[in-house]
Amino acid sequence: MKNDRLAVALRTLQWVLGLVILEESVRFAFSPAAAHEFAQTGMPDIIHRVLAWSEIAAAVLFLVPRATVVGGWFLLVVLASAIVLHLLHGWFDVGVLVVYAAGTWAVMVGTTAAPQQQN
């Protein structure tokens, strides 16, 4: 019973986290306001596109049950890159990104530990 509730909680966290990150990534990729804001950083537009599309791909992989761990690692790399870019530009409001990374890690650990707990 306890393992069932844990599995449901982790699956719910996975979907909520994955969909929220996907929505924000799509907005980051296609919003003219986001493109304009990114242009203010002075970085080339290709970095904006690579970050956005990498985050979209990682979020989609994270939502696929068989690819959750691979997508999670990909997502952690993308989130860590975003955190570093924020910090290098003096933007210290990275708390949300850290929470996303912690949630991703929790889902990954829960996903890999679940088969071992059933034995």
Q: Where are the domains of the chain?
A: 2-117
What residue type is assigned to position 94 of the chain? V
SS3 of 80, please? helix
* Cα dist from 30 to 14, 41, 78, 80, 115, whole Å: 24, 17, 18, 22, 39
Predicted local confidence at residue 103, as pLDDT: 97
Is residue 28 within 8 Å of 82, Cβ to Cβ?
Answer: no
Measured distance between the N- and C-terminal CA atoms of the chain, rounded to whole angstroms: 15
What was the pLDDT predicted at 119? Answer: 45
pLDDT (0 to 100) of residue 114: 58
Q: Which parts of the chain sit beneath pLDDT 50?
A: 118-119
The residue type at 41:
T
| Structure confidence at residue 116 (pLDDT) | 52
At residue 63, what are phi and psi to the nearest 5 degrees?
-80, -15
Decide if 26 contacts 56 (C-beta within 8 A): yes
